[in-house]
Structure 1
Amino acid sequence: MTLSAVWADLDRLDDEMAELAGQAAELTSYAGRWVCQRAGFEPSPLCLLRPLAELMDLLADGFGDLRSLALDDWADLRHGVASTRRDLGAVDDGVVGLLPVAA
């Protein structure tokens, strides 16, 4: 077993991060589609809550922006984790090549 195999947890971390990114996408999509519905505030022209319907559009846009920002930042973080994992593996492999290792 090489020392680089010790960093295998970082490979699994990327899978976990991918799952969390999917959950964030689902959550913001759900909120934009179902939480931010105008229909509940527009049951009739006389509804006192009718002005809030326009705010639902702004709220839905906010969830869309949150989704884009969060997923972009998360993708950058995942890229950094993957890059670090490669670098750590390369350093470990280099050290193993230079130092005697007891079997």
Structure 2
Amino acid sequence: MTIQLTEDRKRFVLALVQGGRYASESEVVNEALRLLEQQDLVRAEEKRRFEALVVQGIESGPSTPMTPGDWDEIEREGERIVAARKARKDR
């Protein structure tokens, strides 16, 4: 198999090999393809989970209007999350 790379990509691949991170150009390309395959698998799983959540939402019945109390609870929960993150950061 023969592939064509842009000059920028060629320089990048060569820099990775010359820097000692990879033993050969083929190793760089194989690693890039492995990462692309992994990314595709993650995206497929995310899509599957999203679709399952959509089905769950549809099957949960008709929607109900948000009340001012609902919005207040969302705001309080957000404030709790921010406070917890700030407390962890301040440690």
Q: TM-score, normalised by structure 2?
A: 0.45
Q: TM-score, normalised by structure 1?
A: 0.41
